[in-house]
């Protein structure tokens, strides 16, 4: 099992959610986060004085997937979240040791 963590532009969340639903992903966790990558921050003026916005608002989507679904999930996110501009975000894939459904105590692939 894998944990897919995607950092995307907030306005892309709906498209990503739909794309994942279409390929049969049943659950995800979404968090509002802030950060920067190559895009870095940007500076703004407030009453004539400059201030730097170092951390830009992003949306973090976390999905637990079976090994067999990994490629299709990553592809769906990559396609849906791509605007072609800098700051589109990243996808991190990490191993997932165990998943447990609290209601039934099912574990592993059954619980995803």
Partner 1 sequence: MENQIFQLQYAIDTFYFLVCGALVMWMAAGFSMLEAGLVRAKNTTEILTKNVALFSISCIMYLVCGYAIMYDGSFFLSGIQGGETLVADALAASAENGFDGDSVYSGASDFFFQVVFVATAMSIVSGAVAERMKLWAFLAFAVVMTGFIYPMEGSWTWNGADVFGMYNLGDLGFSDFAGSGIVHMAGAAAALAGVILLGARKGKYGKNGEIHAITGANLPLATLGTFILWMGWFGFNGGSVLKLGDIANANSVAMVFLNTNAAAAGGLVAALIVARILFGKADLTMALNGALAGLVAITAEPSTPSALGATIIGAVGGIIVVFSIITLDKIKIDDPVGAISVHGVVGLFGLLVVPLTNDGSTFVGQIVGALTIFIWVFVCSLIVWSIIKVIIGLRVSEEEEYEGVDLAECGMEAYPEFTSSK
Contact residues for partner 1 (CB under 8 A)?
44-51
- Nearest approach, Cβ of residue 50 and partner 1 (Å): 6
Return the residue matching tokens 């099992």. 1
Return the number of the residue (49 or 86) whose C-beta is nearest partner 1. Answer: 49
The three-state (H, E, C) secondary structure of 40-71, written as one string:
CCEEEEECCEEEEECCEEEEEEEEEECHHHHH
Q: In this complex, which beta carbon is closest to partner 1, that of residue 44 or of residue 71?
A: 44
- Rounded Cα distance between 91 and 16, Å, is 12
| Angle in degrees, CA 36, 41, 42, rounded to 5 | 160
**Least distance (Å) from partner 1 to the CB of residue 55?**
14
Q: How far is the CB of 13 from partner 1 (least distance, A)?
A: 24
| Closer Cβ to partner 1, 27 or 48, answer by number | 48
């Amino acid at each position: 099992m894998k944990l897919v963590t995607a950092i995307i532009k907030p306005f892309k969340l709906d498209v990503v959610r739909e794309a994942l639903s279409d390929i049969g992903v049943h659950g995800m966790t979404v968090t509002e986060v802030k950060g920067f990558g190559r895009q870095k921050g940007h500076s703004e003026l407030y009453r004539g004085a400059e201030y730097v916005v170092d951390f830009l608002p992003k949306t973090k989507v976390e999905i637990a997937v079976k090994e067999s679904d990994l490629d299709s999930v990553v592809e769906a996110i990559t396609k849906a979240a791509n605007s072609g501009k800098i700051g589109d975000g990243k996808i991190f894939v990490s191993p997932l040791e165990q998943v447990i459904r609290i209601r039934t105590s099912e574990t592993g692939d059954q619980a995803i």
